Amino acid sequence: MKILGKFPSTRLRRVRNSEWMRKLISENHLSTNDLILPIFVREGKNKIEKIKSMPGINRYTVDKLGLIIKKAKKLKIPMIAIFPNTPKNKKNSEGSEALSENNLVCRSLRFIKKRFPKIGVMCDVALDPYTTHGHDGIIRKGRIDNDETIKTLVKQSLLQAKFGCDVIAPSDMMDGRIGAIRKALDKNNFQNVCILSYSAKYASNFYGPFRDAVGSKNNLKSDKKTYQMDYKNSNEALREIGLDIKEGADIVMIKPGMPYLDIIKNIKDKFKIPVFAYQVSGEYSLLKNGIKMNLIKDEAIMESLVAFKRAGASAIITYFALEIAKKLKTF
C-alpha cells in the first residue's frame, strides 16, 4: 500500500484527540448480535455450582437453566451453547451416554426448546464428555479410530437434532465427519439444521479450565494431538476448512481465539464464509484472574472481543457473553 501524506501536514493524532471523533472513525464494533453464551449443565436438581477454575461461571442443573437463559434472552444474545458435565458412573470407554435420549444435553434441549423457542441452541458433537478416557473419539488398538468414531457422531447429531438442536457443532476433528453428518441429517428430514464445524481446532493448552468444567480433566492421560491441529500450522487450517465447506459446513469455527487471530483473518479472506471464533476457557480464566488481581483493567475484555471482529469473525463464543452484553446496545 502506498502511504499518502507526510508529516507535518499530515498528523494522524488529529483524529484521535477527542472521544467523539474517535467514535466517528472507529472501524470495528461489537454488538450483542455477535455473542454466543456457553452454558455448563450438571446432573441433579435445584443446584447452581461454581466452577473453581472459571471464576464467575457456574454449572446448572437442567431445572435451573431458565435462570441463565432468561438473562441471555433479556440481553438479546442470539444463541447459547450447551456443554454437559456427565456423572462418572455414566461414562464408559465408548461414550455411549452420548446416544442416550435422557442424557444431559437431550434433557436440556427439551427444557429449553419448550420455554425459549426463539433462542438458538448449539450443541457440541464429540465424545469427550462421555468417555472414561476423556478423548473425543472411540479407541481401537490404542488409537482414536476415525471411521468408527464417525458412526457414533452421526447418531449423536441425529439425536440432538431430534430434540430441537438448531446448530450441530462437531468439535471432534475426525476426518470426513461433516459430510457423514450432513448426509444423515438430510436423509432424516433435518435439512434446516445448521452445521457449525470446529474446522480448525488446535491441540491447545488453553482448554484446561473447560476440561475441569465438564469433568474430563482427570480422565485424559495424554494429549489430543493425533486429531486436533498442531499450533505450528496455518496452511493446514485452509485445507481443513476447504474440505469441511465441501462436505456441507455452513459456518466454520476457529479455536482457540486470541492466539489464532491470524487464522481467522486468513480463512475469512480466502473463503468468504461465516467464521466464528471461540474465546476458550483458558483465555477467559487468564483475563478474569488478571482483572481480579488488578494486573489489567476490565476493558481488556472488550479489547479482546473487538479484536475478533477486527480479524473478521462474525460471532464469538465467549464466557464473557452476559457480562459484556450488559455493556452493549443492540442495533
| Active site positions, annotated | 201, 255
Q: How far is the CB of 136 from ligand PBG (least distance, A)?
A: 5
Q: How far is the CB of 13 from ligand PBG (least distance, A)?
A: 39
Task: Name the residue with the smallest CB distance to ligand PBG.
Answer: 210
- Considering the complex, state which of residue 188 and residue 205 has its C-beta at the smaller distance from ligand PBG: 205
Calculate ∠ Cα 273-37-144, nearest 5°. Answer: 70
Cβ partners under 8 Å of residue 237, min gap 6: 199, 200, 229, 254, 263, 266, 267
- Considering the complex, state which of residue 187 and residue 233 has its C-beta at the smaller distance from ligand PBG: 233
- Considering the complex, state which of residue 16 and residue 151 has its C-beta at the smaller distance from ligand PBG: 151
Contact 196, 251 (CB under 8 A): yes
User: Which positions touch ligand PBG (CB under 6 A)?
Assistant: 124, 126, 128, 136, 171, 207, 210-211, 224, 280-281
- Considering the complex, state which of residue 203 and residue 245 has its C-beta at the smaller distance from ligand PBG: 203
Q: How far apart, in whole angstroms, are the C-alpha atoms of residue 142 and residue 202?
A: 22
| Residue 140 CA from chain centroid, whole number | 28
Q: How far is the CB of 267 from ligand PBG (least distance, A)?
A: 19
Q: How far apart, in whole angstroms, are the C-alpha atoms of residue 64 and residue 39?
A: 11
Phi/psi of residue 100, nearest 5 degrees: -90, 130
Strands, DSSP E only, in the chain?
35-42, 48-50, 58-61, 79-85, 120-125, 139-140, 143-144, 167-170, 194-201, 251-255, 275-279, 315-318
Q: How far is the CB of 134 from ligand PBG (least distance, A)?
A: 8
